[in-house]
């Protein structure tokens, strides 16, 4: 006589209909992003770099100095912040390859483009929010310092400037020249501050794309630093005719034009308009992520 033994209810496996999609992948990526210490420490370092360097750069200005572009001066910390933010973008992908957890991720979510899309959406959303907060905070701190420094002695500086030019400057222009500060209502200022935040966020996604291709933390960071810092130095060393033709396409110069309000900086040379350059930077990022997606699908974990 054969007895049928039933499986206890506690050991029964429920069949979950459907399969894990983008929503669940994004929830998993959100958990992974905030469950590691590197995320918080990198964000703290970015805050110190962007806002701290802004305070340092504007705090060293003399009350008699006339600043050509106070907005760009207050956003000077973006140049250091972009490197730290790029490291965070690299770690979003390369950290999983370094620890081997990428195998578990791809086992749970076999559709690899969905995994990459979830990483891009989650990190991109965090990057935009954080970078815009940093940009507006740096601008507010910088302009507060500049306004305080130029509150005393502005009339004397305006008189000196009038004597140098040989003409009498109207009072409203005097205030603009000697205040050394800017407001969001002035032409191009809001665009520069918003653009600085977007520039920082897109560079983080570009670093994520490089990490997806290279899959190694040190190599990805080196490639990112090479694109952002080393490449402009190499181009600058080339003959002027070549340098002027190539410099406008570099991400660093695109960013410099994007958060400038007083024309194109001298060291950039001929450049695209701010939003045209930003569109080109977005194109670089999309192409890099596209290549990374192809590599992720074709290679083993």
Phi/psi for 300 (5° steps) reads -75, 155
Burial of 30-47, coded b for 16+ CB within 10 Å and e otherwise, reads: bebbeeeeebeebbebbb
Only one residue has tokens 């990805």, namely 220
Among 130-144, 197-211, 241-255, name the one with the lowest average pLDDT.
241-255
pLDDT tens digits, one per residue of 135-194:
999 999 998 888 877 654 455 555 565 556 555 545 444 444 445 677 888 888 999 999
Q: How many CA atoms lie within 13 A of 261 on its CB side?
A: 24
This prediction's pTM? 0.83
Q: Give residue 11's pLDDT.
A: 38
Q: Are 172 and 164 in contact (CB under 8 A)?
A: no
Cα distance between residue 224 and residue 48, in whole Å: 21
Q: How many CA atoms lie within 13 A of 56 on its CB side?
A: 10
Within 10 Å of residue 9's Cβ, how many Cβ atoms? 6
Cα distance between residue 243 and residue 236, in whole Å: 6
Residue with more model confidence, 180 or 215: 215
Q: Where are the domains of the chain?
A: 23-298
Only one residue has tokens 């450049």, namely 271
């Amino acid at each position: 006589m054969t007895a049928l033994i039933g499986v206890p209810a506690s050991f029964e496996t429920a069949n979950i209909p459907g399969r894990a999609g983008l929503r669940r992948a994004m929830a998993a990526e959100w958990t992974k992003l905030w469950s590691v210490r590197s995320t918080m420490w990198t964000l703290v370092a970015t805050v110190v770099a962007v806002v701290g360097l802004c305070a340092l750069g504007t705090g060293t200005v003399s009350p008699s100095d006339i600043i050509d572009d106070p907005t760009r001066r207050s956003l000077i910390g973006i140049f250091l912040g972009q490197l730290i933010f790029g490291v965070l973008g690299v770690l979003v992908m390369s950290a999983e390859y370094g620890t081997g957890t990428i195998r578990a991720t791809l086992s749970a979510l076999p559709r690899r483009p969905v995994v990459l899309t979830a990483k891009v959406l989650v990190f991109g959303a965090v990057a935009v929010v954080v970078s815009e907060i940093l940009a507006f905070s740096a601008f507010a701190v910088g302009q507060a310092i500049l306004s305080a420094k130029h509150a005393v002695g502005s009339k004397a500086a305006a008189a000196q400037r009038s004597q140098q030019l040989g003409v009498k400057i109207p009072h409203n222009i005097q205030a603009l020249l000697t205040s050394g500060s800017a407001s969001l209502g002035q032409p191009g200022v809001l665009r520069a501050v918003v653009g600085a935040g977007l520039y920082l966020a897109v560079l983080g996604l570009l670093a994520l794309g490089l990490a997806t291709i290279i899959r190694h933390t040190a190599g990805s960071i080196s490639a990112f630093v090479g694109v952002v810092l080393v490449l402009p130095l190499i181009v600058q060393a080339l003959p002027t005719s070549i340098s002027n033709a190539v410099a406008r396409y570099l991400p660093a110069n695109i960013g410099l034009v994007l958060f400038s309000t007083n024309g194109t900086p001298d060291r950039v040379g001929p450049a695209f308009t701010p939003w045209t350059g930003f569109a080109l930077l977005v194109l670089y990022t999309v192409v890099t992520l596209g290549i990374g997606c192809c590599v992720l699908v074709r290679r083993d974990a």
